Structure 1
């Protein structure tokens, strides 16, 4: 999983469950078509889009959780690989984008909690925070959500962020990647680049 990583100083990583639209978000961010599919787990290796002149890249890491036709031990290996990648390159990661499905994420989190587990999405959000990877939650598929504000407030609550969600607009980005509506995510990335005094990267999020 690490062998083909381009040697770049700064990266933005995309992480999340399978089938939440990570590859579609990546396509909207980079303008490049990436492998997307209806079956969960299409992305099994990291996808990189890099620019040598700015020593910068976007990295789409493999999705975790349920994947059709993938055995459980392999799913666990993929999740472990994702965690190891983030740990190893934390010093280079200027932002970690956790992509979630706005329609399903609350139910998934609550179901895992009811089973006495720490939900992957919550765990990953705090892990990105802990390693200094400045998490942004891209709440995708918001075009399918009716109770937008209520849903986003509940998500904040589950992540340990005090609602209302509007006070977390540099962290919570409601988007609809398939419709090309990702402006809140671009706003979050712009604020990260400006905070790191990397004005040269702003052209990638305009």
Structure 2
């Protein structure tokens, strides 16, 4: 199980597969350098970024799913630890941000869909929502996507949200973290913080 969570009441978590750009997004949100690498699975423990004077922590949880060079048992352990962490702190988590790769997410979901399997991304989306955590899907790397609206509509469809995606702007946030274009995400997060009566945390987003 992960160790060392700061003693903070309010939390926003980033979850998602390896290599979708969570750590890059974390760096963009915090202005704080986070270890990133071309190799999947660089983040093995949560990265907590807590602002000392505030009762708030932003957490980048380790990536789950396939990682080249990482044995399956270890991958499953990471996923289990992520799930346990979210369950344990669910009542403190004001927003869960599920980061996906806009270019590959549909293919990945379709490849892992079957009568007896649910793709990780879809499973994690429903898991967060079932725990009552307001969830935003940060669809990253959108600069590499040509058929933007169609891709986002397809993603809504896979997640069980009725397209068009534009009616879900507090849930679906197309971004490009590497280029610093993350406004749709920060706006969606603020919507949920406002609903939780935590406008005081807007300055972090």
Unaligned 5+ segments in structure 2 are: none
Matched, 1:5 2:5: yes
TM-score of the two chains, using structure 1 as the length reference:
0.97
Shift of 1:133: 1.3
Alignment of 1:84-99 (within 5 A): 84-99=84-99
Shift of 1:114: 4.2
Give the 4+ runs in structure 1 shifted more than 3 A: none
Aligned-residue Cα RMSD (Å) equals 1.0
Equivalents in 1 of 2:182, 2:115: separation in Å? 33
Aligned to 1:178: 178
Contact 1:175 1:181 in 2 (8 A): yes
Equivalents in 1 of 2:101, 2:154: separation in Å? 14
| Greater Cα offset, 83-92 or 107-116 | 107-116
Shift of 1:54: 2.2
TM-score of the two chains, using structure 2 as the length reference:
0.98
Residues 109-138 of structure 1 deviation map (CA, whole Å, 9 limit, x = unaligned): 000014741000000000000111111000
Residues 41-69 of structure 1 deviation map (CA, whole Å, 9 limit, x = unaligned): 11010000002322101000000011122
Q: Secondary structure of 1:139's match?
A: strand
Equivalents in 1 of 2:162, 2:171: separation in Å? 12
Unaligned 5+ segments in structure 1 are: none
Matched, 1:44 2:44: yes
Aligned to 2:139: 139
Aligned to 1:125: 125
Alignment of 1:32-71 (within 5 A): 32-71=32-71
Equivalents in 2 of 1:138, 1:93: separation in Å? 17
